[in-house]
Amino acid sequence: MVAERFWKGKESGLKAFDLITPIRTSKNIGEFALIMPGQERVVLTKEVLVLRASQTAPFDNFYLLWAMTLKTVRRQWDRIVFMQTNREDVGKRYEEIRIPVPPAKEVADNHSKAFRDYYLGTQKLRDDFLTYLAGEDKHYIFMSSAVASVDEIVDADETETE
């Protein structure tokens, strides 16, 4: 598969809810989006930066997105991303960004609750929709890896009814 040549393996290395942002040559430069479940198997160019909270951080990616959208943090980010059009510079300089670090995961979860609720709620709606499509077998709609998702839902339903 062509993608596997770019990934240098069987997987992209992306995880659901990773933050991504174009850092060069895009009208959306510096704008963050989340990789939703089922979207992990994509090939990204070098002009896209991927951020993920570390295992030891007292917060998750929802908090990281919450923090990166704070106006004071955004001003720092804009200064770096709009001044550097070279990925290697941005790739090193994003570490200069200072975000508020919560004293505990519970505090981070409280701050980022609206972000978490929105993205997890969106995913639940998508899952419900795919379940409907799998049950109807009358529609064809391509939604990222929807075919695999529908097959997994059907297989799970068949296993439960046996």
This prediction has a pTM of 0.79
Q: Which carries the bigger pLDDT value, residue 68 or residue 22?
A: 68
Residue 132, burial from CB neighbour count under 10 angstroms (0-12, 13-18, 19+) = exposed
Give the whole-angstrom CA distance, residue 155 versus residue 103: 43
Give the whole-angstrom CA distance, residue 49 versus residue 93: 12
C-alpha distance across the termini of the chain, in Å: 36
Q: What band does 80 get if pLDDT is binned at 50, 70 and 90?
A: confident
- pLDDT for 54: 93
pLDDT at 75 > cutoff 80: yes
Q: What band does 160 get if pLDDT is binned at 50, 70 and 90?
A: very low
- pLDDT for 23: 81
State pLDDT tens for residues 10-51.
Answer: 888 899 999 998 887 667 788 899 999 988 888 888 888 899
State pLDDT tens for residues 94-108.
Answer: 888 999 999 999 999
Quick check: 43 and 12 in contact, CB under 8 A?
yes
Q: What are phi and psi of 40, to 5 degrees?
A: -70, -25
Q: What band does 144 get if pLDDT is binned at 50, 70 and 90?
A: low
